[in-house]
Amino acid sequence: MTNISRRSILKTLAVGGAVASALPAVLPTTLSAQNPENIKAEQVEALTVQNGTRQSVCKWCYSKFPMEEFCKIAKKIGLVGIDLVGPNDWDLLLKYDLIVTMGNGPGMGIPKGFNRLEHHDKLIESYEAVIPIAAEKKVPNLICFSGNREGISDEEGLANCVTGLKRLMPAAEKYGVTMVMELLNSKNHKDYQADHTPWGGELARKVGSERFKLLYDIFHMQRMEGDVIQMIRDYKDVIGHYHTAGNPGRNDIDDSQELYYPAIIKAIKATGFKGFIAHEFLPKKGIESLRNGIKICDV
């Protein structure tokens, strides 16, 4: 259900049919996600990020929250922005002095990406239409996808991605917007091609532009290859964005799962990374889980 939900959201958003201390006990139990539409920012205790980690959150994980109220909550608990937000909400985030840390909108969804030549014209047209708007609305990154293999070898898929992305780089470079390809596990996203960091790293280096980077999703890459901290070190030059989630289950990033996020975040920061780390876990306790995740990553 997790992956179906995200895939559905991305498809709906895509253009042309394509995208410190624990929470106090005095807070009402509605903060734990049973009735999120009733939670107001004034019910949430403020949280200040102490150590400079620029944290964001993926809105789809909190889909029942009205966007404007969620903006107020995000601001209050120390987040710098919200991830995977489509153009219709970009002005709203600006209103609350939040960054759209990763924009949705253009493209053809997760299965249809740059690995097939027949998709290039439509993909490039949709991204070139949105890139200037992203620049105007101070959206630094736009998400993109390799697409599914559908019988294409990794070598052919990589070469096709290079061809298509190089066509798009002049617009991205002109407007200062970075295209970021997400690495996803192909156990959940069946047949997805960009499912290993070395493949994505080779792609980024062949594209050869500072306006193309990888979205290293820690949950997805733990499922596919593990060795998370070493991969972060080895591919620091081509990683432009991070997503968090616990494994197994894609839930809270606490001590109930196998990834130790304090060490991972320290490793990311040790590479000199200055971008955004966005939480993309399905919270067991709503905003309480999100607050705890922020504190865990504030190292």
Q: What is the spatial distance between Cα 171 and Cα 231, in angstroms, rounded to a whole number?
A: 30
pTM of the model: 0.89
CB 271 within 8 A of CB 234: no
What pLDDT is recorded for position 32? 47
Compute mean pLDDT per 10 residues along the chain, 299 residues long, and list them.
Answer: 43 39 32 67 95 96 96 98 98 98 96 98 98 98 98 98 98 98 97 98 98 98 98 98 97 97 98 98 96 98
- Domains along the chain? 2-19+30-297 (3.20.20.150)
What pLDDT is recorded for position 217? 98
What pLDDT is recorded for position 144? 98
Residue 57 token pair: 């959150």
What pLDDT is recorded for position 73? 98
Q: How far is CA 165 from CA 117, 159, 171, in A?
A: 11, 10, 10
HEC per residue, 219-244: HHHHHHCCCHHHHHHHCCCCEEEEEE
What pLDDT is recorded for position 236? 98
Q: What is the spatial distance between Cα 18 and Cα 12, in angstroms, rounded to a whole number?
A: 7
Q: Residue 90: helix, strand or coil by DSSP?
A: helix
What pLDDT is recorded for position 38? 81
What pLDDT is recorded for position 231? 98
Q: What is the spatial distance between Cα 181 and Cα 114, in angstroms, rounded to a whole number?
A: 10
What pLDDT is recorded for position 96? 98
